A and B are shown apart, each in its own frame.
Chain A
Amino acid sequence: GAGVSQSPSNKVTEKGKDVELRCDPISGHTALYWYRQSLGQGLEFLIYFQGNSAPDKSGLPSDRFSAERTGGSVSTLTIQRTQQEDSAVYLCASSVGTGHTEAFFGQGTRLTVV
């Protein structure tokens, strides 16, 4: 597609429910990133994919968080047994490579846990 697409744009869920957030990167971009943007916390790195592999999952806050990427394209971030502190905007980005290359961001998914 023309840009990084994320869905849903907004999600309200009850505490304890599982949620799936989807990211469709720019075609041909091998690198994909998930970030979280919380009020007062800035942008927090969650996980990085190169192709379908995730060499760095160090930013995932707990084992309730997981992510996968299939076909070197679409990625899904899953949060199990959501908690109120999971409320944030989840941003996905992709780039043609790493290092000096620019990352393109999606519009984000605003997750609210009630």
Chain B
Amino acid sequence: GNSVTQMEGPVTLSEEAFLTINCTYTATGYPSLFWYVQYPGEGLQLLLKATKADDKGSNKGFEATYRKETTSFHLEKGSVQVSDSAVYFCALSDPRSYKLSFGAGTTVTVRA
């Protein structure tokens, strides 16, 4: 079945530091890949997505590239801000399955 593994947190960074959150997946088909973010006290919202191999999703300075050869979708941001403090979830959607499969989530705290 489909599964997502993402790096465990929590991750604590200083402002302007570089952020990477690793995500790898297992899927039987050709999934779409997503990063969702949950800010404190808010619901889950889509941060970025990629629907096929070598696609790069980007939003709010975050980027992730769909790597089929390594089955990975690592999230990166070059210079984080305090407002980026949140829980980040990697997810995949298999067109044959309709379910979203989520990673466990990574809590990121950015300190001023």
Contact = CB atoms under 8 A, between A and B. Distances in A.
B82 interface: no
B98 A48 contact: yes
- Candidate in B44, B46, B96, B101 with the most chain A CB atoms within 10 angstroms: B44
Nearest to B99: A45
Interface string B32-54: 10101000001111100101000
A71 interface: no
A99 B95 contact: yes
A98 B96 CA distance: 9
A25 interface: no
A42 B105 contact: yes
A102 to B, nearest CB: 5
Q: Looking at chain B, what size class is its interface with the partner chain?
A: 20 to 34
Interface of A is mostly: strand
B104 interface: yes
Contacts of A33: 99-100
B42 A99 contact: no
Nearest to A107: B43
Contact of A98 (B43, B49, B95, B102): B95
Interface of A: 4, 31, 33, 35, 42-43, 45, 48, 50, 56, 91, 93, 98-108
Interface of B: 32, 34, 36, 42-46, 49, 51, 89, 93-96, 98-105
